[in-house]
Amino acid sequence: MIAPLFFYLFALMTVVSGLMVILARNPVHSVLFLILSFFNSAGLFVLLGAEFLAMLLVVVYVGAVAVLFLFVVMMLDINIDEMRQGFRQHLPLGLVVGLILIVELLMVFTQDLSTDNVLATNMSGEISNTAMIGQVLYTEYLLNFQVAGLILLVAMIGAITLTMRHREGVKRQNISEQNSRTRDETVQIVSVDSHVAPKVLDDSRAANKRLQ
């Protein structure tokens, strides 16, 4: 009795928070609702018995991706009124994207998943689903998995090369250089005649006087 109750709770929360993502006026609130909907989808995964996927969803999406997302949205100074102005202009494009997504969803639902498809076989109860994913990920889907990793790596390198520039004249700390310094090359012992005031001191006194 409890499981269906939780299903309806999670499903309702996912749909409502998904709607609130696009309805909230404040972009930061939108991102927070997005996070809530991720979280509730994780709950749905748990109810399906796919606890590994649920935890992965929380760790990767909620714990890392959405934090960076929130980070960026908070830093940007988004003017909501300005965003509303382009609504009419972007409406046709939005409708087309939405239509494509709906058609894709329908295609997924109408497809017959029962014929020799690895995804559709239910093996729960024999081994844990973590082990099951591990077994197919590095055998059946090895190539796809590696290619996905490679794409992410390329994207990361691209982002770094686009944003990293070394400006001249900026002081930087070079820790290995600091650590490799020896006492001999930095410290110098100078014998100072104690009866005569050093010239440096005079200069600084004069400078102080000028400031006053």
Partner 1 sequence: METITRFLTSPMMIELIWTVAQIFAVIVPLLIAVAYLTLAERRVIGLMQLRKGPNVVGPFGLFQPFADALKLLSKETILPSGASKAVFVIAPMLTFILSLVAWAVIPFGEGMVIADVNVGILYLFAISSLGVYGVIMAGWASNSKYPFLGAMRSAAQMISYEVSLGLVIITVIMAAGSLNLSDIVMAQKDMWFFIPLFPMFVIFFISTLAETNRAPFDLPEGESELVAGYFVEYSSMSFALFFLGEYANMILMSGMTTTLFLGGWLPPFDWPILYLIPGPIWFALKVALVLFVFLWVRATTPRYRYDQLMRLGWKIFLPFTLIFVVLTGGVLLGFGLLPQ
Residue with smaller CB distance to partner 1, 67 or 95: 67
For residues 40 and 14, the answer to whether their CB atoms sit within 8 Å is: yes
Residue with smaller CB distance to partner 1, 11 or 20: 20
For residues 95 and 17, the answer to whether their CB atoms sit within 8 Å is: no
Residue with smaller CB distance to partner 1, 2 or 187: 2
Tell how far CA 21 is from the center of its chain. 18
Residue with smaller CB distance to partner 1, 130 or 141: 130
Tell how far CA 115 is from the center of its chain. 37
Q: For the chain, how big is the Rg over CA atoms in Å?
A: 30
Least separation in angstroms between residue 123's CB and partner 1 is: 14
Residue with smaller CB distance to partner 1, 59 or 150: 59
* Residue 42 CB-density burial (10 A; 0-12 exposed, 13-18 middle, 19+ buried): buried
What residues contact 31, with CB distance under 8 A and at least 6 apart? 21, 66, 69, 70, 73
Structure tokens belonging to residue 167: 């400006």
Question: Interface with partner 1 by CB under 8 A: which residues?
Answer: 1-2, 26, 28-29, 32, 35, 51-52, 55-56, 58-59, 62-64, 67-68, 70-71, 74-75, 128, 130, 173, 175
